[in-house]
Amino acid sequence: MIERTLVILKPATLVRGLAGEVISKFEKKGLKLVAMKMARLTPEILSQHYAHLVDRPFYPLLVESMTAAPVILSCWEGVDAVTVVREMTGATNGRKAAPGTIRGMYCMSGQENIIHTSDSPENAVIELDRFFVVSDYCPWDSPLARSINSPDEL
């Protein structure tokens, strides 16, 4: 099924000059970029986005990290996009993430782990609605779509 998922390039990704490299991985995979914008996240929106973590001892450091510089918010579309992107992301701790995953390639930390990606189709819908409005989306038909998927996969 064609799905949409949220990818947030975290502040350290921008600071380290890795944004283009990470975006390129998703492009080359064959996912379709349908929305993208920069933003400075606030503690308020982070308390929604990371509601499952607000009581954890590391939460203040997480907020500090996520507000230290702008982020790049993006929405990627494709067949099973949520699972595909999550698998490409790798384990939360970059030191344990499999080689070849984005976290496995580009980070050494459990907190400074380069990207956020939605962990289920249900959460992808909630998260995309949190960060994007309808007019942020630019749906488009790729002339290469037949080279990305067979029609019977769609």
Provide the 8-state DSSP code for 46: H
What phi, psi does 42 have (nearest 5°)? -110, 160
Assess whether 52 carries a catalytic annotation. no
49 binds ligand UDP (CB under 6 A): no
Q: Which of 92, 81, 80, 73 is nearest to 132 (CA)?
A: 73
Is residue 110 involved in binding ligand UDP (CB under 6 A)? Answer: yes
Binding region for ligand UDP (CB under 6 A) out of 71-79, 105-113, 124-132, 134-142:
105-113
Phi, psi of 109 (to 5 degrees): -140, 155
Whichever of 52 and 146 has its CB closer to ligand UDP, that residue is 52
Residues lying near ligand UDP in the complex (CB under 6 A) are found at 50, 53, 58, 62, 92, 110-111, 113, 116, 119
